[in-house]
């Protein structure tokens, strides 16, 4: 199969360009408060670049298991599995040949909807079971982008799909997202160790930099952590790269750009959401260049709706196990509005 691009549109001037390589969202264009069209996701220059450039998962579907698995190891039905370790001693986003590097088959395509499927064979990246992953993007006239994730298998395996789009609601070529006003409907995060693997503990966000229950600027504590000499979860990450425990299915978060007036509200039935503020985006000569812009540290944010990281090794976390009789069905909606 060849790499192709597809465009979804609605009746309000929104347009989303996606590719079958990694199901990547290349661009998301919409009018701001003055009617100016802004592209509000970071993306690469060409669709083919998503398979050839060592990019930081811009806009792609991550899998089989998004986020981290400690030491790349897990046990399922009494059998031990060792996955590729591609971030230090740990496994991240399905490894170097994960779903983001696969060309997906298009099942259905129309003006406002596209459905992709990928058949991942048993042993793919050393995961067990034949897994069929289906991802559908729908753009409707309420300015909502809906992503449906459906996975089935012929035998027990693990899966945790997410979309890894980097948003900058001021425009993909804006400097950073420090002024974006963020709200997250969550009372706690999963605590991580120095390698960002969950310890199994939870942290109440009250009185911490992770508390976004009352809307405030994303950059408020990022700038403090950059200049801090203390070792905290925030300073070690260089920003936010943490899983929020969502209260219940429904609204998960909202974020607003004072520059453009664009607001995005997120709804999901996933139990968790990783807030990532592009802390590891390369700088200097190794900077990521896309669509005529240079993307540096904190140039975008990700809302990775998900099952908790390393869930397979934490029995008290929501399960990421898929069986023949228990498929996975998750959704995420990004609803866009404009404030005067």
Whether residue 223 lies in the annotated active site:
no
Q: Is 131 exposed, middle or buried (0-12, 13-18, 19+ CB in 10 A)?
A: buried
For this structure, is 34 an active site residue?
A: no
Closest CA to 57 of 267, 278, 255, 218: 278
- The tokens describing 262, both together, are 């664009």
Of the residues 91, 164, 180, 298, only one is catalytic, namely 164
The catalytic residue among 55, 172, 242, 304 is: 304
DSSP collapsed to 3 states, the chain: CCCCEEEEECCCCCEEEEECECCCEEEEEEECCCCCEEECECCCCCCCHHHHCCCCCCCCEECCECCEEHHHEEEECCEEEECCCCECCEEECCCCCCHHHCECEEEEECCCEEEEEEEECCCHHHCCCCEEEEEEEEECCCCEEEEEEEEEECCCEECECEECCCECCCCCCCCCCCCCEEEECEEEEEEECCCCCEEEEEEECCCCCCCCCCCEECHHHHHHHHCCCCCCHHHHHCCCEEEEEECCCEEEEEEECCCCCEEEEEEECCCEEEEECCCCCCCHHHCEEECCEEECCCCCEEEEEECCCCHHHCCCCCCCEEECCECEEEEEEEEEEECC
The whole-angstrom separation of Cα 96 and Cα 130 is 19
Q: Cα separations (Å) of 318 from 142, 147, 245? A: 31, 20, 10
**Residues with catalytic roles:** 164, 304
């Amino acid at each position: 199969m060849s790499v192709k691009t597809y465009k979804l549109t609605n009746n309000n001037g929104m347009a989303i360009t996606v590719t079958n390589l990694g199901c990547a969202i290349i661009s998301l264009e919409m009018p701001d408060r003055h009617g100016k069209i802004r592209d509000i996701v970071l993306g690469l220059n060409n669709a083919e670049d998503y398979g050839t450039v060592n990019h930081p998962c811009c806009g792609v579907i991550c899998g089989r298991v998004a986020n981290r698995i400690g030491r790349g190891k897990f046990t399922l039905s009494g059998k031990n599995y060792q996955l590729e370790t591609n971030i230090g001693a740990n496994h991240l986003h399905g490894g170097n040949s994960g779903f983001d590097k696969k060309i997906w088959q298009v099942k259905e395509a129309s003006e406002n909807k596209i459905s992709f499927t990928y058949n991942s064979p048993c042993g793919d990246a050393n995961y067990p079971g034949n897994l069929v992953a289906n991802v559908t993007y729908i753009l409707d006239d309420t300015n909502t982008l809906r992503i449906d994730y459906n996975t089935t298998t012929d035998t027990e395996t693990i899966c945790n799909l997410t979309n890894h789009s980097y948003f900058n609601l001021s425009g993909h070529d804006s400097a950073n997202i420090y002024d974006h006003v963020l709200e997250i409907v969550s009372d706690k995060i999963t605590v991580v160790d120095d390698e960002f693997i969950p310890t199994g503990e939870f942290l109440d966000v009250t009185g911490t930099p992770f508390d976004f229950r009352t809307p405030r600027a994303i950059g408020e504590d990022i700038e403090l952590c950059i200049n801090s000499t203390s070792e905290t979860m925030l300073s070690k990450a260089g920003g936010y790269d943490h899983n929020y425990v969502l209260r219940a299915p429904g609204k998960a978060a909202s974020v607003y750009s004072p520059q453009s007036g664009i607001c995005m509200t997120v709804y999901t039935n996933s139990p968790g959401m990783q807030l990532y503020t592009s802390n590891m985006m390369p700088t200097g000569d190794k900077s990521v260049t896309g669509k005529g812009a240079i993307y540096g540290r904190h140039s975008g944010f990700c809302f990775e709706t998900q099952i908790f990281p390393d869930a397979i090794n934490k029995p008290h976390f929501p399960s990421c196990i898929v069986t023949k009789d228990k498929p996975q069905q998750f959704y995420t909606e990004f609803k866009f509005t404009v404030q005067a």
